């Protein structure tokens, strides 16, 4: 709930601490932010745009797909890598529906979670995903509405990575867990459906962007098999960036040629960085 992360929040206008007064967050400078009835609060500055956020349709597809357990190996790997850092504030940058944050918190009785995302549709679900999650609408490329050095752990799963801000909100010794797809991830669907492919040089580019701010630690590959119905294969396309580039009619026709179920490779890297 929002009350669990209140003491870590900062005003997006003046960076002062925020205090929860009923259903409104206030700072000493007089800025205020009302909690939506769905449980999240928007801490976007007034000139922010949410056009890049996941749509309601994308969020629904992701929620159904994740609920079926297809990406449970990724969630398990995150929980294992989190260790005792999950007993403090766990910030999920690009949290979506809160699926991964929930799984990490379930392994740590004392931790609380800040689900940060620009999509209010995603955060409507994240706010209800776990009793110790507070959901906040914000822009990952702007100053995050969190106080300096407050986070023990930051999760970043298929999401934007703002190195300076991640370093600022992490406590000394805190860690960042980054999940990125390998070039093999969903390879069968990429080839058959003409989807966006993963750059082989992605890891190096991420290291270059995060390197000035954080120290890289261990990296583990997580490989697993997915057996998907045609509807689930369509969902995995609809829940990610391919949703912006795929014609639904052509997608349905191409999926029909793949048979049912479709055997697909899941392959990601989980990389640890430290402040």
What would the DSSP string read from start to end of 13-76?
TT--B-EEETTEEE-TTS-EEEBPTTS-EE---TT---TTSPPHHHHHHHHHHHHTTTTHHHHH
Q: For residue 243, what pLDDT is reported?
A: 53
pTM (2 d.p.): 0.91
Give the tens place of pLDDT for each residue, 55-102. Answer: 888 888 889 899 999 999 999 999 999 988 888 999 999 999 999 999
Count how many domains the chain has: 1
C-alpha dihedral over 27, 33, 38, 44, to 10 degrees? -110
The residues of the chain scoring below 50 in pLDDT are: none
Q: For residue 115, what pLDDT is reported?
A: 98
Q: For residue 212, what pLDDT is reported?
A: 94
Can you say whether residue 242 is alpha, beta or left, with left for phi > 0 and alpha for psi between -120 and 50 degrees? Answer: alpha
Contacts of 25 (CB under 8 A, 6+ apart): 2, 6, 9, 18, 19, 32, 33, 34, 35, 41, 43
Q: For residue 57, what pLDDT is reported?
A: 84
Specify if 42 maps to a domain: no
- Domain ranges, residue 80: 52-274
Contacts of 43 (CB under 8 A, 6+ apart): 9, 11, 12, 25, 33, 136, 137, 138, 145
Specify if 5 maps to a domain: no
Specify if 38 maps to a domain: no
* CATH code, 177: 3.40.50.150
Q: For residue 55, what pLDDT is reported?
A: 82
Query: In 3D, which of 84, 79, 76, 85 has the Cα closest to residue 153?
Result: 85
Specify if 237 maps to a domain: yes
Q: For residue 245, what pLDDT is reported?
A: 58
């Amino acid at each position: 709930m929002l009350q669990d992360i209140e003491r870590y929040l900062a005003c997006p206008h003046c960076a002062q601490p925020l205090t929860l007064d009923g259903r409104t967050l206030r700072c000493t400078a007089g800025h205020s932010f009302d909690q939506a009835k769905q449980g999240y609060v928007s801490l976007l500055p007034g000139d922010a745009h949410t056009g890049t956020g996941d749509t309601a349709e994308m969020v629904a597809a992701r929620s159904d797909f994740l609920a079926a357990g297809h990406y449970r190996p990724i969630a398990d790997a995150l929980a294992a890598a989190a260790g005792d850092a999950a007993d403090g504030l766990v910030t999920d940058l690009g949290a979506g529906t809160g699926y991964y944050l929930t799984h990490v918190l379930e392994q740590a009785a004392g931790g609380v979670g800040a689900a940060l995302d620009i999509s209010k549709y995603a955060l409507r679900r994240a706010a209800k995903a776990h009793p110790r999650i507070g959901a906040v609408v914000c822009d990952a490329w702007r100053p995050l509405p969190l106080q300096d050095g407050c986070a023990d752990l930051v999760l970043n799963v298929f999401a934007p990575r703002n190195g300076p801000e991640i370093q600022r909100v992490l406590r000394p010794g805190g860690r960042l867990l980054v999940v990125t797809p390998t070039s093999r991830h969903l390879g069968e669907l990429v080839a058959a459906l003409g989807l966006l492919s993963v750059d082989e040089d992605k890891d190096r580019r991420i290291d270059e962007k995060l390197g000035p701010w954080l120290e890289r630690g261990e990296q583990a590959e997580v490989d697993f098999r997915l057996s998907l119905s045609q509807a689930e294969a369509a969902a995995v396309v609809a829940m990610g960036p391919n949703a912006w580039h795929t014609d639904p009619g052509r997608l349905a026709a191409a999926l029909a040629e793949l048979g049912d179920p479709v055997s697909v490779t899941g392959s990601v890297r989980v990389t640890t960085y430290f402040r």
